[in-house]
Amino acid sequence: MGRKAFVLAMGAVGLAGALTAAAFVAPNRAAAAAPAYVPADAATIVAHVPPRDPREVAERQALAAAPERVELAVELARADIQRARSLSDPRYLGRAQAILARWWKLPAPPPDVLLLRATIEQSLHDFAAARTDLDALIAERPDDAQAHLTRAVVATVRAEYAAARESCAAVARLAPPIVAATCMAPLNALGGHVAEAYQGLAAALEGRTTPGLRAWAMTTLAELAIQRGDEPLAAQQLQAVLAVDPEDAYARAALADVMIAQHDPAGASALLAGYEQIDNLLVRRAIAEHEAHGPEAAKLAKMMHDRIAAAAERGDRVHQREEAMFVIAVDGDAGRALSIAKSNWAVQKELADARLLVKAAVLAGEPDAADPVVRWATQNGITDAWLDAWRRRLP
Amino acid sequence: MKALAILLLLTAPAWAHKPSDAHLSLDVHGDRVTGRLDIAVRDLEGALSIDDGDGQITWGELQAAAPRITTYIEQRVAIAADGTPCTLDLGTAKLVDLSDGAYWAVPVSAACTRTPHTFDVTYQLLFDLDAQHRGLVHVDGQTVIMRDGAPVHIQLGAGTSILSFVRYGIWHIWMGLDHVLFLVCLILPSVWKRDSLRKAGREVFEIVTAFTLAHSITLVISAVGLLRFPSRYVETAIALSVVAAALNNVVRAVDARWAVAFSLGLLHGFGFSSVLIDLGLPSHELIGALLGFNAGVELGQAAIVIALLSFLFLMRRTLAYQALLWAGSSTVALIATVWSYQRWVA
């Protein structure tokens, strides 16, 4: 090695050392490093908020004057829950909870409060509390269709299929046939009757219904198609849902999953471009772009890391499913993904969670870690094309 | 319509925002606590109705609400050091853009009657508005999550690992331009005269070692309290040492620059120690802090020297280098003279 090269190498080493040290010395919290500034002028718009509704303002004042008026609190909390959904902003769930604070810790609050409390608990992934509240509510109001439907969802997530069937049967008494069919079909499919469940739901979809219900039923139908291993059909159905409502984030995520599974990550990335604000879509775009070696892979991975860090900083573990997906596909760290997938499985037990745990266990070389899923599948007679393919890789 | 309402409650939510967070970042320097509180503008709207009702919050609307925001914070945030309340002072707020939108960023300072070893932080912002709000208190390398209005007891020093002092040491040598310039002036001629990298390297090594030894000795002596001088004298003397080292390159008075590094380096150790003394560490923490801090100073110094040495060696035969040696040293001497004067009269 020439002397000049040696000197250059030493210089590079010194520079690298200095840069490493700089990274080490720099404040380690992004917020602390973010520079504060003064906007150019007083007219600069710094934030958008929902326009104030005069009626709601009046109701808030009335509630402040008489905080025991539960009917006012319920109406205001319901408006905030709707707002959380329509704006995709979970902050309004916390506001709904705060409005109900007076009743939040009561063992037996009024039925209307029970329903809202269960809805908020479900969104915060406290499924056990939601289940308890819904059981109490149904004991008091056995004909509450909404309570039964929410209970069916919560029980399914907890792999309590008998309770879920019970509630779907009640829904069949209380709601239009399409709702009952969409409630029951996934349970029948999980129980080993995928083909019949698919036919039944497809038949129910023939009738007239509202666009919202139709989208829900069609998305469920596509999920059954995936379960049968017919991904091209599922893709067609999800595209049909999106053609009617491009803002349907759930259908868009499902379609992206199908495209990634079908080895079309570039197509999935294009499908999700511009939707990075939504967590469920960002994670899928980051994975798709990574697998397609796209130009935005690094940027999207950083965005996702930042969101995971921000959630962890406040002690949230709501997005474990998405986090495990990301860690497997982008970080390539199957060991860490497995530990997240395990703790996710303790909270929610949907098909997607089962697939994730098995995949992580196989890739991490720890087949025993998949035992809970294998047991769950055996006990409940679960059939799923995707899951079966991965289970064949277990010894 | 009934069915549609059911559906709204059902569909798996796809969130496009974080839940509500606020950040309170605090730095402790002796009995002074400084930092910043960042609150989401959208949360302030919920708590204080800042918007005129059109759904758009302008900077003007925020500024008009500033006194109300200040009162709101003052009524709901409190800090006590070792059980004694500190006086909280809120500065003029600016804005900061975090990943989730604009935040009201208000400088916070607190005067405590003593150097705290524990903090009791009371944080009651926004919980009555948003039950999922979290106050994230960053202090001393720890993050404490406030989940409700209950006061939280924070043990300081739990996060003051030796590593944090290493970090502090590196930071200090890089920010302390005087120490770096002193060293640079001393090693500049080594490269110029020496044609062999090994000889040049050995001379630089001798100088750096002498400087390190000298300032380590006085750093320890001063930090443990054996010998201390008022900082005005120390700081002025350090500036003068830079003048001397720079002038030595112009007039070539002393050739054994390692001796200069050692003798004047003794002064710099007293300067380093004032940083540690200001922290008011209890004696059982001092040894670790000293070791970590000194290691950080040496690391920061080594990184600068290695990078600089390579660069200078490649440049040593160029005209720019001659200019750098003479003109640069003269300029440094001039600047350091100004410093000496400023530090003496300050």
pLDDT bin (cut points 50, 70, 90) of residue B142 is confident
**Domain regions of chain B by residue span:** 10-155, 162-345
Q: Mark yes or no for CB contact A49/B45 under 8 Å.
A: yes
Nearest to A279 among B11, B15, B127 (CB): B15
* Whole-number Å distance between alpha carbons of B153 and B115: 16
**What pLDDT is stored for residue B312 in this prediction?**
80
Cβ pair B262, B211 in contact under 8 A: yes
* Whole-number Å distance between alpha carbons of A336 and B59: 44
Q: Mark yes or no for CB contact A216/B11 under 8 Å.
A: yes
Cβ pair B21, B132 in contact under 8 A: no
**What pLDDT is stored for residue A2 in this prediction?**
58
Query: How far off is chain A from B226, nearest CA to CA, in Å?
Result: 30
**What pLDDT is stored for residue A20 in this prediction?**
58
Cβ pair B156, B137 in contact under 8 A: no
Query: How far off is chain A from B140, nearest CA to CA, in Å?
Result: 12
Nearest to A210 among B4, B55, B308 (CB): B4
Per-residue pLDDT, averaged over B15-37, amounts to 83
Nearest to A91 among B19, B96, B99 (CB): B19
- H or E element that contains B128: none
Cβ pair B158, B140 in contact under 8 A: yes
Q: Mark yes or no for CB contact B6/A149 under 8 Å.
A: yes
Q: Is the pTM of this model over 0.80?
A: no
Residue of A nearest to B25 (CA): A32
Q: How many residues belong to chain A? A: 395
Cβ pair B110, A80 in contact under 8 A: no
Query: How far off is chain A from B119, nearest CA to CA, in Å?
Result: 20
Nearest to B303 among A17, A43, A98 (CB): A17
Nearest to A45 among B10, B16, B58 (CB): B58
Q: Looking up tokens 């999700």, which residue turns up?
A: A272
Per-residue pLDDT, averaged over A352-359, amounts to 92
Nearest to A48 among B56, B63, B127 (CB): B56
Query: How far off is chain B from A42, nearest CA to CA, in Å?
Result: 4
Which residues on neighbouring strands pair with residue B153, listed in sequence order?
B120
Q: Mark yes or no for CB contact A216/B300 under 8 Å.
A: no
Taking CB atoms and an 8 Å cutoff, what residues of chain A touch B305? 14
Taking CB atoms and an 8 Å cutoff, what residues of chain B touch A48? 55-57
Task: Please tell us whether the domain made up of B162-345 is placed in CATH 1.10.357.
Answer: no
Cβ pair A125, A349 in contact under 8 A: no
Q: Mark yes or no for CB contact B8/A310 under 8 Å.
A: no
The Cα angle at residue A16 between residues B318 and B189, in degrees rounded to 5: 30
Taking CB atoms and an 8 Å cutoff, what residues of chain B touch A279? 14-16
Q: Can you read off the two tokens belonging to residue B119? A: 């903090």
Residue B314 or residue A11, greater confidence? B314
Looking at residue A41, what DSSP letter applies?
A: S
CATH of A58-175, one of 1.20.120.720, 1.25.40.10, 2.30.110.10, 3.30.70.1290: 1.25.40.10
A112 pLDDT higher than 90: yes
B5 pLDDT higher than 60: no
Query: How far off is chain B from A230, nearest CA to CA, in Å?
Result: 23
Indicate if ipTM > 0.95: no
**What pLDDT is stored for residue B306 in this prediction?**
84
Lowest-confidence pick of A50-54, A344-348, B242-246, B260-264: A50-54
Query: Exposed, middle or buried: residue A194 (CB in 10 Å: 0-12, 13-18, 19+)?
Result: buried
Across chain B, mean pLDDT equals 83
Q: Mark yes or no for CB contact A10/B309 under 8 Å.
A: yes
pLDDT bin (cut points 50, 70, 90) of residue B23 is very high
Lowest-confidence pick of A107-121, A267-281, B57-71, B248-262: B248-262
- H or E element that contains B121: strand B118-123
* Whole-number Å distance between alpha carbons of A59 and A49: 19
